[in-house]
Structure 1
Amino acid sequence: MNIFILFLIPYVAFAKLEIEIFGLAKCPHTNILFKNQLGPFFAKKNHQKLADDVKIDWHIIPTGTKQVNGKVVATCPHGTLECELAKFQACAKKYSNFTTGIVTVSCIQGGKLEDIEKCLENHEKREEIRNCGVSQHGEDLLFGEHMMRSKIAPNSYHIPWVQINGERNTEAETDFFKIICGFQQMKNTCSSTSQ
């Protein structure tokens, strides 16, 4: 009996599913991932919590930073608008539960600043997100996303970048739910309603 328990413990630890998604606010490929897959899927699942052994996190990132008047400011490959949108996305992530956050971020993704009001109109924390998105706090959150990328995906040279249990999965970058719905931990989430 004791031998069985010793073998069971490593298996249980390995059974956790950790998914990290990195994207850019104006990147056409990130737009497809968020607007065509993540947003619609989780909008249908808004009522449902992910299983305890599943962690999905997303990071809308800048690609660098610079100092302006003694403060850290994000830099983005698609210009200033991309960084402005990314700040609102980082703020939506902070002030939302998982599914509401990913739906809101998907709505903002690839858009214009004028689109943000529409994306926030039904959000219970819309004022906090609005204020955060135009503040240094939003800039700091975006910098935090940049640092997270450096820490957990330092070799991520292609965006979007999807890691499953610490390893890049290129197929998940284009067909996210085909891949993650193949994991046992996602069976209930994926099968409760059709995509």
Structure 2
Amino acid sequence: MKFWEQLVVTLICCYDWKSSGMSHPKPACRYPPSQWCRSLEIAVECKVQNQCMELNAIKPNQTVPQVSVTLYYESLCPDSRHFITHQLFPTWTMLQDIMSLTLVPYGNAKEMFPANSPFACQHGAPECRGNMIEACIISLTGNSLAVQIIYCMESSTDVLGAAESCLQLYAPSVSWSSVDSCVSGDLGHRLMHDYTVMTRALNPVHSHVPWVTFDGEHTDEMEDKAMSSLFHLVCELYKGVKPPACTGAPVKLSRSGC
């Protein structure tokens, strides 16, 4: 279930129970809200099948390619953090049905040889650790959860200090020890090497971060639009029928209750 769908379903349930003068009960199911619409069986158990079917009915045409957005950034770069928290995450929350997002936490880092200190980062060793933590989180949790965890980290006062609690909040089934093992082991270094290759392959070569590509392309015009309103740019680039979030069209959902 998409993040915005979770919010909609939750609001529907809350609205119906509040309007009836009754307190809103917790769903009698063993699944978190993020999984309510993952399958019909789960939706039935959690008593949200009507809402899930209606939400699926208004999803964009899945045969039309999503807008592919790739963000090259650094974990401790102030401009990267501002873009993630003020542009990227709100846009992804509303438009993830029409956009695919790839995060590349590398930026202006450099791969060094010999490998006793394999990476040098613009904001020092803490940023190298932050980049690798986020790379490991992406690898271990999957893209959707990783976006939420990384937003949680980047919006915190202490990015590195918030990592463990953000992981526990959004992916409690993934242990912090597995992330720590990734960071200190071969997997973390392999992930960062892959990001090195991806970043070096950029054409045109990136000159700063945040650096955003759309369907593999970067232009000054697209960057200007992304920095001022990524949301409107993604809506503009999507070639299918625009979702209600882009057009502002009202969406009427059932009030049958949970």
Q: What is the match of residue 99 of structure 1?
A: 144
The structure 2 residue matched to 1:177, chosen from 214, 227, 231, is: 231
Give me the TM-score of the superposition, normalised by structure 1: 0.74
SS of the aligned residue for 1:59 comes to strand
How far did 1:85 drift? Answer: 0.5
Q: What is the match of residue 126 of structure 1?
A: 175
RMSD between superposed Cα atoms in Å: 3.1
SS of the aligned residue for 2:80 comes to helix
Q: Is the 8 A contact 2:76 2:159 kept in 1?
A: no
User: How do residues 154-173 of structure 1 correspond to structure 2 at under 5 angstroms?
Assistant: 155-168=205-218, 169-170=222-223, 171-173=225-227
What is the aligned residue count? 176
How far did 1:161 drift? Answer: 0.6
Q: What is the match of residue 50 of structure 1?
A: 97
Q: Is the 8 A contact 1:104 1:120 kept in 2?
A: yes
Q: What is the match of residue 44 of structure 2?
A: none
Q: What is the match of residue 130 of structure 2?
A: 85
Moved more, 108-117 or 146-155: 108-117
Q: What is the match of residue 45 of structure 2?
A: none
Give me the TM-score of the superposition, normalised by structure 2: 0.58
1:115 aligns with 2:159: no
How far did 1:105 drift? Answer: 1.8
- Partner deviation per Cα, 1:110-133 (whole Å, 9 max, x = no partner): 734322111111312234323212
- Partner deviation per Cα, 1:5-30 (whole Å, 9 max, x = no partner): xxxxxxxx996632221101111110
Larger CA Rg, structure 1 vs 2: 2
CA pair 140-189 structure 1, distance change in 2 beyond 3 A: farther
Q: Is the 8 A contact 2:91 2:230 kept in 1?
A: no
CA pair 173-150 structure 1, distance change in 2 beyond 3 A: farther
Q: Is the 8 A contact 1:60 1:90 kept in 2?
A: yes
SS of the aligned residue for 1:95 comes to helix
Moved more, 175-184 or 88-97: 175-184
User: Structure 1: how far apart are the matches of 2:105 and 2:66?
Assistant: 23
SS of the aligned residue for 1:34 comes to helix
User: Structure 2: how far apart are the matches of 1:21 and 1:97?
Assistant: 16
User: Structure 2: how far apart are the matches of 1:67 and 1:108?
Assistant: 30
Q: What is the match of residue 8 of structure 1?
A: none
CA pair 185-60 structure 1, distance change in 2 beyond 3 A: farther
Q: Which has the higher contact order (CA 8 A, sep 6+)?
A: 1
Any stretches of 5+ residues in structure 2 without a counterpart?
1-62, 249-258
More strand by share: 1
SS of the aligned residue for 1:21 comes to strand
Any stretches of 5+ residues in structure 1 without a counterpart?
1-12
CA pair 103-80 structure 1, distance change in 2 beyond 3 A: same
Q: What is the match of residue 15 of structure 2?
A: none
User: Structure 2: how far apart are the matches of 1:157 and 1:49?
Assistant: 28
